[in-house]
């Protein structure tokens, strides 16, 4: 499933949403990414597009617009010979939309937008996402950017924008829009901030129908290996009630940047139905985004009750923001045939965790783990982070050592999985720490969008980091990340979670990564001709370490058949959906 043959042009769309790689063109640049994406499904190219792509596309499709999603980053990863410019030249759309949701896309998104501007000078180029919202005044000044939709809920403003463009109407009436014309730059008020998520249609059938229509699974995949290791998401909330100081999605950041002063929840009944809708099309684990207790235990109880009524069969992954009681896990076990848990306490060190804004103790972490495992939790993932306020090198390494205690308390239960990773590559704009770095012991090296964009193609991942702390400079953060990962590997070997051979392989990769870090530093100092030659040699080795630098990404894979096994289910889902639509009309 791919793009049309040479000389063949694609049908015209009203909107094409394109997800760009982090750096363009990463296939040619000599980049040593390090462990910046070890704990997310995507590679360091950050090829996973935001969930909002699908909700925006569905809303426009309902209104009769022709919309297409293209994960260009994933396509470039899976086809190293893809001629991006030639491919983009064959597209035809009134509007091209690019996400600058996560700041690591600052380089790639702007580069792809510049290419689209050159290839399609008469089309409008639209940006959106958290980072677009934060930097909208700077972003709109780039010549390849025409429009920016701000906020975390742009489905309805986007529909209004498309209607306005189609009728050549007044853009000043479109909420949340930053735009420019011959008279200058304009920023409309963020006046559309819905207080609920229940108005959204989350239609996984639209994605399946889109793949069939365009004969393009590759371009629609959420991330590179999604077809082999599928996982889906259901969102319970937009916004957050917590104030974690390094998070750009915290309640303070939401208020400052996106106009959201309180979370907007999806009703628990609709969230449960969303899982059922996933099951209509795909046999894959479902990650429930947002702690279902965030809106009170009544919300969680209603969610569990509705999931039981629907008799769901999916492997459901629940997210915790704070420790949970044993009764919570009993309900989860009673509700789902399979469930797992992900919890990010960020540090074992209560002083560090409190400085971060996480107000719970280690006893709560430990009791949650034991309670979940005692109630048939399939997997309990714990995530620690390096580069936090008040965190010394010793504290970060002790978080890895703390893992041994957790395993001792739970009889070396292999269902417990502990991971560690640096806070990388950037300190989130909009976060409390970004806005007040000195207060939290940070030194920030990038403040503007352009400064972040210029950091991304730097060859060494530790130099891309936009910050250091009073307790650890960037070299120490990098060194500590590898040391902490090695200590975790030792624990995994000692309890039998990995074999001696697997431990040796992980240790060798860690040593190779450390050595490469030094060699890249040395190569940067060489005269230009020698530097280019040496960097190209190092590029090959760097690509071998592109994924799973300090953590084996396959450890994060859930038990699910490949997407090919879901094709009959998807086909039946499309037929059922078509039948329902015909009955409504």
Q: 353 in helix, strand or coil?
A: helix
Gyration radius of the chain over CA positions:
24
Is the pLDDT assigned to residue 148 strictly greater than 90? yes
Q: Does the pLDDT at position 110 exceed 60?
A: yes
Are the CB atoms for 65 and 105 separated by under 8 Å?
no
Between 569 and 433, the more confident residue is 433
Q: Report the distance separating Cα 210 and Cα 13, nearest Å.
A: 12
pLDDT digits (tens, 9 = 90+) for 29-52: 877 777 765 555 567 788 888 889
Mean pLDDT on 398-418? 95
Q: Is the pLDDT of residue 10 over 80?
A: no
Lowest model confidence (mean pLDDT) among 282-296, 419-433, 546-560, 569-583: 569-583
pLDDT at 339 over 60: yes
Nearest to 16 by CA among 219, 278, 190, 177: 219
> What integer pLDDT is reported at residue 305 of this predicted model?
98
More confident residue, 230 or 310: 310
- Residue 583, pLDDT above cutoff 50: no
Beta strands in 2-53 (DSSP E): 13-19
CB atoms within 10 A of CB 124: 18
Rounded distance between C-alpha atoms, residue 23 and residue 44, angstroms: 10
Please write the tens of the pLDDT for every residue from 441-478. 999 999 999 999 999 999 889 999 999 999 999 999 99
Comparing C-alpha atoms, which of 357, 391, 362, 573 is closest to residue 471?
Answer: 391
Asked if pLDDT for residue 574 goes beyond 50, the answer is no
Cα–Cα separations (whole angstroms), residue 301 to 307, 310, 331, 457: 10, 14, 8, 47
- The residues, ordered by sequence, that sit 6+ positions from 138 with a Cβ below 8 Å of its Cβ are 448, 449, 450
Residue 4's pLDDT is 38
Strand locations in 280-362 (E): 286-289, 315-320, 338-346
- End-to-end Cα distance, the chain: 32
- Residues 63 and 155: their CA atoms lie apart, in Å, by 12
For 236, counting Cβ atoms within 10 Å of its Cβ (0-12 exposed, 13-18 middle, 19+ buried), the class is: buried
The partner residues of 423 in beta bridges, in order of sequence, read none
Of 49-58, 109-118, 172-181, 367-376, the one with minimum mean pLDDT is 49-58
Averaged pLDDT, 118-144:
98
Residue 547 has pLDDT above 70, yes or no: no
CB 465 within 8 A of CB 474: yes
What is the maximal distance between C-alpha atoms in the chain? 71
Angle, vertex CA 138, rays to CA 94 and CA 141, nearest 5: 50
Q: For 13-197, which CATH superfamily applies?
A: Response regulator (3.40.50.2300)
Alpha-carbon separation of residue 109 from 44, 99, 209, 555 (angstroms)? 15, 7, 27, 30
C-beta of residue 224 within 8 angstroms of C-beta of residue 42: yes
Whole-angstrom Cα distance, residue 487 to residue 484? 5
Which tokens in the block code for residue 550? 């300090």
Confidence of residue 543 (pLDDT cuts 50, 70, 90): confident
3-state secondary structure of 78: helix
Give the three-state DSSP class for 267: coil
What pLDDT is recorded for position 576? 53
Residues 6+ apart with CB under 8 A from 376: 333
> Three-class SS string for 355-407?
HHCCCCCHHHHHHHHHHHHHCCCCCEEEEEEECCCCCCHHHHHHHHHHHHHHH
Residue 470 CB partners (closer than 8 Å, separation 6+):
441, 442, 443
Residue 198, C-beta contacts closer than 8 angstroms, at least 6 positions apart: 266, 267, 270
Residue 572: pLDDT band with limits 50, 70, 90: low
CATH of 232-497, one of 3.20.20.10, 3.20.20.70, 3.90.1570.10, 3.30.750.200: 3.30.750.200
Tell me whether the omega of the peptide bond preceding residue 355 falls within 30 degrees of 0, making it cis.
no
Residue ranges of domains in the chain: 13-197, 232-497
Q: Strand 416-422 relative to strand 380-386: parallel, antiparallel, unpaired?
A: parallel
β-strand partners of 422: 386
pLDDT for the residue 8: 43
The residue written with tokens 């980091």 in the block is 465
Pairing relation of β-strands 416-422 and 147-149? unpaired
Cβ-contact 96, 88 below 8 angstroms: no
C-alpha–C-alpha distance, residues 197 and 237, integer Å: 7
Tens digits of residue pLDDT in 182-218: 999 999 999 999 999 999 888 777 777 777 677 777 7
- Extended strands (E) in 374-498: 380-386, 416-422, 442-444, 467-469
Q: What is the pLDDT of residue 584?
A: 40
What's the whole-number mean pLDDT along residues 299-320?
A: 97
Count of other CB atoms within 10 angstroms of residue 565: 13
Name the more confident of 191 and 577: 191
DSSP-assigned letter for residue 57: H
Is pLDDT of 484 > 50?
A: yes
Using pLDDT thresholds of 50, 70 and 90, give the confidence band for residue 257: very high
User: What's the pTM?
Assistant: 0.90
The model's pLDDT over 382-396, given as tens digits with 9 standing for 90+, comes to: 999 999 999 999 999
Average pLDDT over residues 367-375: 98
Cβ-contact 315, 339 below 8 angstroms: yes
Average pLDDT over all residues of the chain: 89
**For range 347-369, the mean pLDDT:** 97
Query: 582 burial class (0-12, 13-18, 19+ CB within 10 angstroms)?
Result: exposed
**In 113-226, at which residue ranges do the beta strands (DSSP E only) sit?**
124-128, 147-149, 177-181, 184-187
pLDDT in tens, 83-95: 999 999 999 999 9
Beta bridge partners of 417: 381
Taking residue 530's Cβ as centre, other Cβ atoms within 10 Å add up to 11
Please state the separation of Cα 39 from the chain's center in Å: 10
Residue 474 DSSP label: H
């Amino acid at each position: 499933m791919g793009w049309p043959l040479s000389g063949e042009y694609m049908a015209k769309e009203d909107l094409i949403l394109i997800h760009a790689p982090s750096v363009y063109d990463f296939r040619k640049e000599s980049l040593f990414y390090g462990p910046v994406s070890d704990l997310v499904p995507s590679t360091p190219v950050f090829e996973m597009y935001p969930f909002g792509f699908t909700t925006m596309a569905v809303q426009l499709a309902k209104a009769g617009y022709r919309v297409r999603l293209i994960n260009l980053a994933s396509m470039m990863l899976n086809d190293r010979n893809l001629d991006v410019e030639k491919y983009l030249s064959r597209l035809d759309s009134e509007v091209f939309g690019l996400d600058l949701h996560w700041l690591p896309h600052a380089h790639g998104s702007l580069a792809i937008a510049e290419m689209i501007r050159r290839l399609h000078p008469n089309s409008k180029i639209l940006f959106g996402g958290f980072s677009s919202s934060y930097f909208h005044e700077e972003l709109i000044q780039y010549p390849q950017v025409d429009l920016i939709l701000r906020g975390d809920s742009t489905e309805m403003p986007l529909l209004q924008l498309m209607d306005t463009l189609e009728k050549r109407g007044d853009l000043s009436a479109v909420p949340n829009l930053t735009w420019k014309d011959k008279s200058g730059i304009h920023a409309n008020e963020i006046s559309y901030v819905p207080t609920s998520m229940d108005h959204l249609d989350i239609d996984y059938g639209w994605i399946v129908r889109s793949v069939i229509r365009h004969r393009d699974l590759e371009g629609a995949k959420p991330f590179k290996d999604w077809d082999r290791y599928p996982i889906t998401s259901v969102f319970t909330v937009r916004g957050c009630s917590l104030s974690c100081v390094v998070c750009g999605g915290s309640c303070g950041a939401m208020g400052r940047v996106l106009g959201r002063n309180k979370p907007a929840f999806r009703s628990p009944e609709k969230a449960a139905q969303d899982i059922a809708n996933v099951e209509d099309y795909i046999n894959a684990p479902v990650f429930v985004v947002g702690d279902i207790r965030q809106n009170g235990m009544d919300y969680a109880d209603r969610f569990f009750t509705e999931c039981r009524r629907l008799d769901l069969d999916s492997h459901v992954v629940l997210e915790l923001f704070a420790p949970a009681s044993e009764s919570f896990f009993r309900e989860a076990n009673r509700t789902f045939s399979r469930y797992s848990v992900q919890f990010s306490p960020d540090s074992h060190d209560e002083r560090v965790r409190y400085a971060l804004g996480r107000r719970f103790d280690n006893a709560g972490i430990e009791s949650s783990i034991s309670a979940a495992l005692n109630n048939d939790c399939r997997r309990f993932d714990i995530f620690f982070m390096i580069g936090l306020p008040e965190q010394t090198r010793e504290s970060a390494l002790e978080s890895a050592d703390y893992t041994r205690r957790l395993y001792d308390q739970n009889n070396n239960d292999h269902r417990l999985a502990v991971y560690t990773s640096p806070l990388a590559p950037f300190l989130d704009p909009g976060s409390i720490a970004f806005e007040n770095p000195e207060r939290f012991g940070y030194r920030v090296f990038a403040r503007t969008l352009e400064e972040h964009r210029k950091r991304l193609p730097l060859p060494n991942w530790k130099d891309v980091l936009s910050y250091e702390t009073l307790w650890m400079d960037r070299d120490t953060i990098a060194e500590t990340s590898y040391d902490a990962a090695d200590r975790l590997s030792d624990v995994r070997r000692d309890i039998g979670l990995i074999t001696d051979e697997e431990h040796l392989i992980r240790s060798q990769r860690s040593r190779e990564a450390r050595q490469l870090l030094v060699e890249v530093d040395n190569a940067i100092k060489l005269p230009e001709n020698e530097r280019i030659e040496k960097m190209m040699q190092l590029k090959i080795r760097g690509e071998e370490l592109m994924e799973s630098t300090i953590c084996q990404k396959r450890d994060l894979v859930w038990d699910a058949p490949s997407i090919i096994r879901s094709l009959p289910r998807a086909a039946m889902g499309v037929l059922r959906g078509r039948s329902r639509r015909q009955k409504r009309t």
